[in-house]
Amino acid sequence: MSTLVTYFSASGNTAKVAKDFAKSMGADIFEIVPEEPYTAADLKWTNPLARCNKEKFGKKDVPVAGEIVDFDKYDTVYIGFPIWYGTQPNVIDTFCKGYDWSGKKVYAFATSGGSGIGKTVEKLAAVTKGASEVDAILVRSAAQLQDWK
């Protein structure tokens, strides 16, 4: 079995952490990309009509471009994302719903400009049903992940 690092990055911060972490572990990596990429206006959370707000409050699925063909070979999956409203963005939920998490260890690492980790573990567990373990940590760099799991 092997390890996979997946990530969604809105501004590049999460991408840097994910790439550095995957490289340090020798893990495979997969970028979670929405089918319709976000624009700067889509991510302007201070605008109540911005796409990120409509998705989050409307509990909308965000279709993901691409897929992991050999997902079954991974026993440990790290999922990186920025914190949106105290939890993962909807694109993460949509991504997770597309796979069988039975027996997998799921570790989320979240980046944030100021929000806490909130209810990330409980909300992530709901979309990774069957996972043997689900945990989450707030990070600013890949170095913080080295001694975690």
- pTM equals 0.92
pLDDT for position 63: 93
Write down all domains in the chain, each with its CATH number in brackets: 2-145 (3.40.50.360)
pLDDT for position 40: 86
pLDDT band with cut points at 50, 70 and 90 for residue 115 = confident
pLDDT in tens, 127-145: 999 999 999 999 988 888 8
CA–CA dist 128, 131 (Å, integer) = 6
Q: Is 70 exceeded by the pLDDT of residue 81?
A: yes
CA–CA dist 51, 25 (Å, integer) = 35
Which regions of the chain does DSSP assign to beta strands (E)?
2-7, 28-31, 33-34, 64-65, 74-82, 105-111, 133-138
pLDDT average, residue stretch 84-95: 90
pLDDT in tens, 46-74: 888 888 888 877 778 999 999 999 999 99
Q: With H, G, I as helix, E, B as strand and everything else as coil, classify residue 86.
A: coil
pLDDT for position 149: 62
